[in-house]
Amino acid sequence: MRVLTALTAGLMMALTVQDASAAPQDAQQDGVEEVRLAAAAKNVRLRTTLPGTERAISIAFAQYGRQDVAFVSGEFGLKTFDVTDVDKPRELDHLTKQEMALPGDDPSQRFWENEDINVDPKRKLAFLAREVNSFGRALPGDRPTGNYIVSAVNPADLRILTFHRQNTGHTSTCVNDCQYLWTAGRDRSADNTGRIFVTDIRDPRNPKELPVSVDVRGQGKITHDVQVDAQGIAWVAGDDGTRGYWTDGWHRDPLTGKIRKATAVDPIPYAGGNVPKIDMPTRFTHNSFRPAGRTLADGPRPTRENPAGSLLLHTEEAFGSSTCKDQGRFVISSLRGTENGEGWGSTPKEMKTVGVWSPDDQEGTLPGDVTCSAHYFDVQQRIVAYSWYEQGTRFLDISNPAKPIQIAYWRPDAATSWAPYWHKGNVFVADISRGVEIVSLTKGAYDAQDSGTNVQLVTGGPVKVKVGPGDRQRLPLVPHPDYGYACPMVASRGGSCGPASCC
């Protein structure tokens, strides 16, 4: 809270660093000395953790009257928690891997991956996308992909309504008040294109895949994820940038010049396109956010040059640089000049880059061979909470989109930050190594935001520490056998990732 005194904030910070970096005393005394990544944190305090959530991947929330429920998806399946009292979370139910296993699955292997869980807040349904590597599936055998539809009417009694098989299963997103599902990934049919699969889920027990292709990206390419902004525009990220679509209402179709009704099955292009290679060398966008409508105050301050609704925040997930100096960065783009279909076609127009940020050469950043790439982010009150794998969770003030500044960071021991979520003033961090940690910004972060002060650079790197048998170990990430580093996985004990070894 901003009313904390400097003394209280300093005490909390001291406790935070101790929690983030200190191993049990006995383990340190009995352990073996090895070089490890040095933990670091600033202007952040740990509130609590969700027990039993190691290998967490994504989180969503739903309100049940006064009860606040978190849905945590991971390699373990799906868990629900009562987080009404955020300092005393309570597990409600666990939909286990064994319950999710299909005929031919090995339930001892991991469920993979459901990278961006969606929950229908009205009907209380959860949607879990299933990838080709789930449960140890490997070629030449059958590898089913698609979506589990889960009833969470009672969050303490999760029930699978159906598994809808389709030719992709990377991420799934509700559109049009969760009447339809847009599923992204690589089309595993003979077409081998990146596109969006559209499923009618008005009857969740009997989903109907519709014979349409939305946002086709060409052979060998993929769509990765969809985010729906506050004005109802669905933004599709993937190869060749990010593009937005109206999925409801009457609009002018810039590709035909005609006014027609947009639907989830036949959407109307809005804006978007590619990113200059100098700013995003791989041209692969992972996820996005457009501040608009009720979320406008979460994004950069509108100006004459960058008016309300004209900016798109998106991620390049890439691992060509261990410090994210050259690849894997956060990019803020201007949508101006792409409203007439310029982003569609075989050569999408490049959007103007307004701002770029990466942890390279920033305080709290580890040099050397470190897994580093921009991944999922969430935005509230002009502060971006951002996951950077082993570079932890960073907090950026984006009031001035041309100059994002770091105001806080959370990089505890053996962190592998996957996705952060703002929720009621706190941030829930899905860390695939540590599990879900609930953190809060301290007064120092808000002071830095108010003054526009970037956290000052300090140097430091891996350190020698004694590691005991009970201490956390760094998780080696390796490329997915189908998606490469567009979807990294935790390596098997052998350190490699074959068709099934990472599952």
Question: DSSP assignment of 235-302, as one string?
Answer: EEEEBTEEEEEE-SSEEE-TTT--EEE--SSS-EEEEEEB--TTT-TT-BEEEEE---GGGGGGSPPP
pLDDT in tens, 8-48: 333 333 333 333 333 333 334 455 666 666 789 999 999 99
The residue-averaged pLDDT of 176-203 equals: 94
Q: What is the pLDDT of residue 291?
A: 98
pLDDT at residue 6 greater than cutoff 60: no
pLDDT in tens, 375-406: 999 999 999 999 999 999 999 999 999 999 99
SS (H, E, C) 404-452: CEEEEEEECCCCCEEEEEEECCEEEEEECCCEEEEEEECHHHHHHHHHC
pLDDT at residue 303 greater than cutoff 50: yes
The residue-averaged pLDDT of 237-253 equals: 97
Q: For residue 477, what pLDDT band results from cuts at 50, 70 and 90?
A: confident
Q: What is the pLDDT of residue 462?
A: 60
Q: What is the pLDDT of residue 480?
A: 73
Structure-block tokens of residue 296: 């406008």
In whole angstroms, how far apart are CA 31 and each of 34, 465, 467? 9, 9, 5
CA distance 183 to 197: 5
For the chain, percent of residues with pLDDT exceeding 90: 75
CA distance 286 to 284: 6
Give the domains, in start order, of the chain with CATH numbers. Answer: 6-490 (2.130.10.10)
In this structure, what is the dihedral angle of CA atoms 444, 449, 450, 452, given to the nearest 10 degrees? Answer: 120
Of 463, 352, 453, 342, which is closest to residue 407 (Cα–Cα)? 453
Q: Is the C-alpha dihedral spanning 205, 206, 209, 210 positive or negative?
A: negative
Q: Provide the CA 468 distance to its chain's centre, in angstroms.
A: 32
Q: What is the pLDDT of residue 468?
A: 65
Structure-block tokens of residue 93: 């139910």
Q: What is the pLDDT of residue 80?
A: 98
Q: Which residues contact 442 (CB under 8 A, 6 or more apart)?
A: 4, 9, 12, 13, 43, 44, 45, 408
Q: What is the pLDDT of residue 489?
A: 73
pLDDT in tens, 342-371: 999 888 999 999 999 999 988 888 877 789
Q: What is the pLDDT of residue 20?
A: 38
Kindly tell me the burial class for residue 320, based on how many C-beta atoms sit within 10 Å of its own C-beta (0-12, 13-18, 19 or more): middle
Mean pLDDT score across all residues of the chain: 88
Query: Which has more pLDDT, 479 or 362?
Result: 362
Contact 374, 388 (CB under 8 A): yes
Q: How many residues are given for the chain?
A: 503
Query: Which segments of 16-76 are extended strands (E)?
Result: 32-36, 40-42, 44-50, 56-64, 67-74
CA distance 122 to 48: 28
45 strand-pairing partners: 440
Q: What is the pLDDT of residue 182?
A: 98
Give the chain's end-to-end CA distance (angstroms, integer): 41
Q: For residue 460, what pLDDT band results from cuts at 50, 70 and 90?
A: low
Structure-block tokens of residue 362: 């920033």
